[in-house]
Amino acid sequence: MASEKKTSLLQGSLDMLILQSLRKESRHGYSIAKYLKKVSEDFLQVEEGSLYPALHRMERRGWITSFWGASESNRRAKFYELSPEGKRQLKTETEAWKQMSQAIDRVMGFQT
């Protein structure tokens, strides 16, 4: 049950989280998943079946671009980086997330 809750939360915010992970540097898919897991202290675990379709969708929308390079283990990997449109989208999604979080906090009585 806890895993299902994590998954549904992630589905609504995956694009924003991926864009955020690319804000400072380009990363390949496995590195994105590893970064999100580490930064969230193992709470967010992105499965390949969710990650790669999201990356392809965001690339089609022009939010990210890709190039081939060598991974940390010197294997060929597709790296992704944020485009100018992706930076704008990250800002839009971050603002929407803040508004939604604040509204939920008010409903739950977390804000005084």
Residue-wise pLDDT tens digits, 59-106: 999 999 999 999 989 999 999 999 999 999 999 999 999 999 899 999
Edge to edge, the sheet with strand 27-28 lists 27-28, 76-82, 64-70
Hey, what domains does the chain have and what are their CATH numbers?
Answer: 2-108 (1.10.10.10)
CA distance 46 to 93: 19
Residue-wise pLDDT tens digits, 9-65: 566 799 999 999 999 999 999 999 999 999 999 988 899 999 999 999 999 999 999
Report the half-sphere exposure of 1 (CA within 13 A, side-chain side). 0
pTM reported for the whole predicted model? 0.86
Q: Do residues 109 and 57 touch, judged by C-beta distance below 8 A?
A: no
